[in-house]
Structure 1
Amino acid sequence: MNYTELDNYTRKWIFTHASMPVPTADLEQIKPLTQARSSQLWQEHISKQSPDSDHFEHGDWAADTKIWSEPEDWQDAWDNDDDASLPDAILAALQWEDNTTIYFCYEKYNIVETKWGVFKRNWKNFLFFDDGPILLGRKQKQALWFQSNGTYQLALRP
């Protein structure tokens, strides 16, 4: 089994919080991965040695500062209660189909799988924890790295 039931997910509250509840149809498509599956994906696609984005080392593709764009702000869009949209620059850079499977990687043992359309509609929920998560799309080269200082960076991974 690759998934943990959402009801058993330690961060379930970020999707059911009273101030920003995720619609039921979208909740059904938010699938936290088991620790074992998260670890496998992390090692295959992010790092064989680093447990989270604070500890990338030489040899980790994400540690290569030359591949990342200049930081751009996501915090202002997150704080805007009148507009739930992802920042336009992200939407322009990641022109994926809404049914593209994405992985929102909090750290080695905590990855959530969903669809790009679900993420676009509910991205603010995912960023209740903004301690360096990386977003990857299945079969996509682009990566999006959110920083806790309210910025994000884009890269093409190898």
Structure 2
Amino acid sequence: MSYLPLDQYQRKWIFTHQSMPLPPEDLEKIKPMDAARASQLWKENISPLSPDADRFSSQDWPRKESNWTLEIDWMANWEDDDQGMPEELLEQLDWQDDVTVYFCYEKYNILETKWSVFKKHWKNFLFYDDGPILLGRRRKEALWFSSKGTVKFGTRS
């Protein structure tokens, strides 16, 4: 099995917190990868050597400025209860709702879900904003979130 039950995920609380709980039908669609599967996906799609965003080398595609075409603020939307995901991001990522996405916190901590679930509950995912990267399965586009409240949009090389 490549996934952990959500109940065993160390950060499960970000999806069940009383201020922003997810409905059971969406919780079922969030799949934490086990360490081996997460490590494999990270090595193949983000970095073969660096374990997290703080330690990317100049050889890792996220460190190459030419891969990023847009940087916007996400924190204002996150802090406003009435705001959804920033429109600029939704315009850039013209993905179908059923696209599988990977929210990559670090080498051993990756969540798999559907684009529709991520869009709806993106604020939960960003309780931890220490450099996570969002990738779409078989998609070149990527988002790289910063704890400074910005997100970069670009394409993987």
Task: Structure 2 unaligned segments of length 5 or more: list them.
Answer: none
2 CA distance for matches of 1:137 and 1:125?
Answer: 18
Gaps in structure 1 of 5+ consecutive residues: none
- Answering whether residue 140 of structure 2 is matched by residue 147 of structure 1, we say no
Match of 2:73 in 1: 73
Please list the CA deviations of residues 99-145 of structure 1 after superposition, one character each: whole Å capped at 9, or x if unmatched.
00000000000000000000000000000000000000000000100
Residue aligned with 2:96, SS: coil
Aligned residue identity for 1:93: Q
Identity of aligned residues (%): 57
1:27-66 to structure 2, matched below 5 A, reads 27-66=27-66
Match of 1:100 in 2: 99
Offset at residue 70 of structure 1 (A): 4.0
Please say if residues 47 and 56 of structure 2, whose CA atoms lie closer than 8 Å, have aligned partners that are also in contact: yes
The 1-side partners of 2:115 and 2:62 are apart by 21
What letter matches 1:68 in structure 2?
W
TM-score, normalisation: structure 1: 0.97
The answer as to whether partners of 2:70 and 2:154 remain within 8 angstroms in 1 is: no
Cross-structure match for 1:114: 113
Amino acid at match of 2:109: N
**Any runs of at least 4 consecutive aligned residues in structure 1 with deviations exceeding 4 A, and if so which?**
none
- Paired with 2:107 and 2:45, the residues of 1 have a C-alpha distance of 11
- Over aligned residues, Cα RMSD in angstroms? 0.7
